[in-house]
Structure 1
Amino acid sequence: MLLQLVSVQSAAAASDRGISFLEQRFESWPQWSLPAPLPRPRAKQDLIYPDWFSGTWEVTSEALDDSGQPIPNDPPLVHEVRFLRNRRSELIGDRPFNAAAVGKALLGEQLLSVEQDSNQVNRQLARFRDDVLLETTVIGRRETSPKETTDFFSDELVLQILHGPGAPRLSRIETLTHYVRCGEDICADQRQVSHAGPGLKTDQTLEGRSSRFRLTLRPLALEQG
């Protein structure tokens, strides 16, 4: 019994440390000189969302300055996202659909397709015109419990490799998002920093760049059953 109690206390403490780490990381933005020490997900380990994300949503993404004020003359980006059940009935993002929706909203017909790696849920390939390929892989992740009923933190570090004319260009992008239920909608404050990529040539135009967005998810179709 004592061992069980110690195990429960350890699990609770670990959960508290996770929340505290993400909250502290969130508040320290944009002073992220290095990527966060996030655990690397396994090949089949996806980001699990709370049940209140289920369905298809229209996302309005508004760019903000460091103080949280809208950036003038920068119109919001509007696109769809959807969340589906995996074989274990866990709620996950439809990564190819969501990436394609964002890509089309940003780049229009320049984006040709988004492919999911069949052996790696955390890797997608986006193909563009002029024989350009963007390889995106999640190399670090931490999130709060998907059982949370009012808010949810997720932090992901991705490695992006842009293949095209010349040498490949690398960047690591950390995205930390705090989601909050807002009635039928979901509101979110999303913070990003781009870091130098290890090894290959880095895209110096992205290194150290910070971004902040205000997201509003409005339901289009809720999951049935």
Structure 2
Amino acid sequence: MRKIWGFCLIFLFLLWSGDAKAGELAKRLDSFPVWEKITSTKPAVGDLIYPDWMAGDWQLVSTLVDMVAPLAPDIVTPGFEGNRQYLNQPLRFQVRFLRESTPVADTKSAVVADRAFNGLNLARAYLGDTAVISVKVDPDSPNRQITFLRHERQLVSIVSARATETTSDGRFITTEVFQQIFKGGGRPYFNSVESTTAYRKLSTSNPAIEGDQVTAVYLSPQDPDYFKAGSHPVALYRYRLEFFR
């Protein structure tokens, strides 16, 4: 269960439009780990469009570099201490970003994540090949995704809000807020998660893109400590992302 919980957290960046106020997301990353509430976003409509330079197939190396429990010892999320074993331990798997045709003639195709492919590779890299059956994206909405696990367990991720910005130094930054529902093994577990990631194209190919990602976990109203936590995150995880062709 602890390992699945950790997987739920690093799963986020593959699911990722609304624009944020200029510099708001960059300032948010710079203020880590002082996050007091979810940042301003807009309802998620359609898919997230990535920069052209992210198109293609990549070997991704994701490394957990920092983790903070702001409300400890009073409130600590399940699996937080167990996730310390992953600090500075690179996780490698393949991801893909595709060009998707647009309904408007003579309009350049948009770059979007291959959600099912990316989600399956990440899940198997983290949990093992035999633990993950499949990953499916709702054909009517790219914002709803289900990971099917052994023993009739499921992780349902529903994106509710997003924001993006492009900074003067060339970073593409996105934040996404979504709800997670873990089904199986007893009563369903709910939480809310916010993930903010800054991508930067490099002048080298080894790696070609780097990313700085912070994932914040917030308690859901179903949690007995919900009112005690208020609007504050109960766990923060920071990752270094490296994309290799």
> Shared fold (TM-score greater than 0.5)?
yes
Paired amino acid for 2:241 = L
TM-score (norm 2): 0.73
C-alpha separation in 2, matches of 1:131 and 1:201 = 23
Q: 87, 94, 110: which one pairs with 1:90?
A: 110
**Residues 94, 148 of structure 1: CA spacing in aligned structure 2 closer, same or farther, 3 A cutoff?**
farther
- Paired residue total: 197
Q: 100, 123, 129: which one pairs with 1:103?
A: 123
Give 1:202 deviation, angstroms.
7.5
| Uncovered stretches (5+) of structure 1, i.e. residues with no partner | 1-13, 220-225
**Residues 19, 79 of structure 1: CA spacing in aligned structure 2 closer, same or farther, 3 A cutoff?**
farther
Matched residue, 1:160: 180
Matched residue, 2:91: 77
**Residues 203, 99 of structure 1: CA spacing in aligned structure 2 closer, same or farther, 3 A cutoff?**
farther
Matched residue, 1:48: 49
Pairing 1:217–2:243 present: yes
| Conserved 8 A contact 2:23-2:165 | no
TM-score (norm 1): 0.79
Paired amino acid for 2:198 = H
CA RMSD of the aligned region, Å? Answer: 2.7
| Conserved 8 A contact 2:197-2:213 | yes
Give 1:37 deviation, angstroms.
2.5
| Uncovered stretches (5+) of structure 2, i.e. residues with no partner | 1-17, 69-84, 103-108, 227-232
Q: 197, 201, 217: which one pairs with 2:220?
A: 197
Matched residue, 2:140: 119
Matched residue, 1:6: none
Paired amino acid for 1:188 = G
| Conserved 8 A contact 1:154-1:176 | yes
**Residues 72, 171 of structure 1: CA spacing in aligned structure 2 closer, same or farther, 3 A cutoff?**
closer
